[in-house]
Amino acid sequence: MNSKSVKRIARIVSNIFIPPFPTFAIFLLFSLHFENPEKTILSILLALIFTVILPISFFVWLRSNHAVSDNDATNKEERSVPYTFGLIITVIAFILSRFLEMSNEVQTLWVIYIVNTFVILAINRYWKISAHAMGVSAPAAALFYLFPLYGLFALLLVGIVGFARIKLKMHTPAQVIAGSILGWILAASQLLLVTDLLG
């Protein structure tokens, strides 16, 4: 396979695994697995709106107003606004999940994404850590919490997405590795600690 083909595949992988999609996927699984049947659809809709529709719509609006130069937000400085927006709407989603009395596990996911978004926003002031890597490794850790075997398998996906970001020259290996490890550790530790605290 030539370099152009590899790069084309890397671009497809990168586009498919933008952070909102794996985020919604793990919320979908948690909602189906942990939520009370009468609240499952509501939990899924909340996740769809706040992890996919709102962040992607806001990013498209930023692109249309030339506040972000490309779909990868290549310039580190351009990432602060979408990260800040993501933090705000995630806090709102968590408050709604509390008000609606969603399961502790689903509420914990919202806490995880509040913390992760705050951390990546803080790091972004100094270094362009990979949001794609964190966006896949955090759901992989959450999947490991549900189904350990599938969670381990998901680590392969973390590697594939990380390779794609490096191949596209969007991140250095250090930025991808840091995002992968940080996303996993933050998600795994909070799933163990926060779930009981919310009870």
Q: What is the pLDDT of residue 1?
A: 65
Three-state secondary structure call for residue 124: helix
Q: How far apart are CA 94 and CA 110, in angstroms?
A: 5
Burial 104-142 (b: 16+ CB within 10 A, else e): bbbbbbbbbbbbbbbebbebbeeebbbbbbbbbbbbbbb
Q: What is the pLDDT of residue 2?
A: 67
Q: How far apart are CA 73 and CA 124, in angstroms?
A: 12
pLDDT digits (tens, 9 = 90+) for 37-85: 999 999 999 999 999 999 999 999 999 998 988 888 888 889 999 999 9
- Could you tell me what percent of the chain has a pLDDT over 70? 96
Q: What is the pLDDT of residue 22?
A: 95
Residue 197's pLDDT band (cuts 50, 70, 90): low
Q: Provide the mean pLDDT of the chain.
A: 92
Q: How far apart are CA 161 and CA 182, in angstroms?
A: 15
Whole-prediction pTM: 0.92
Distances (CA, A) of 35 to 43, 49, 194, 195: 8, 17, 17, 14
Higher pLDDT: 170 or 192? It is: 170
**Span 86-112, mean pLDDT?**
95
